[in-house]
Amino acid sequence: MSVELIKGSHFRNLAINKPPDTYGRLTLLNSVGQEISRCKTSVRRGQPNPVYKETFVFQVALFQLSDVTLLISIFNRRSMKRKEMVGWVALGQNSSGEEEQLHWLDMKESHGQQVCRWHVLLEA
């Protein structure tokens, strides 16, 4: 399974009056919520509308697609090791909403074609 995190929009840093330093973390979970695999984007510094354009490949058999969840989290890196979650969205078995569930179903039925959608992050 190939996943591309393309871009975000309207990210803001409420603590200080400047755009945040953000990165995305993609976590693949099994049917009981255990982590199978994880990866993250590089940090986009000071961008309210960051463009990530990074592709990640997860090893998932076709028959397993109904049993996994892809959790996409966006983090604001505040200082050296401190981070705070901006928001998240989940696709797959435990999708965070109807749009995310429909996206996952479209992806499963696409026969290898790219399926691209915007998603609104849920607050952390």
Q: What is the pLDDT of residues 17-61, one digit of tens each?
A: 778 899 999 999 999 999 999 999 999 998 889 999 999 999 988
* Domain chopping of the chain, boundaries: 2-123
Q: Is 10 left (phi over 0), alpha (psi -120 to 50) or beta?
A: left
List, for residues 61-117, the tens digit of each pLDDT value.
888 889 999 999 999 987 666 788 989 999 999 999 999 999 999 999 988 888 999
Q: Which of 116, 104, 2 is closest to 59 using CA atoms?
A: 2
E runs forming strands in the chain: 2-7, 22-29, 35-40, 51-57, 69-77, 83-92, 122-123
User: Would you mind telling me the total number of residues written for the chain in this entry?
Assistant: 124
Q: Is the pTM of this model over 0.75?
A: yes
Residue 73 CA to residue 121 CA, distance in Å, equals 8
Assign domain 2-123 to its CATH architecture.
Answer: Sandwich (2.60)
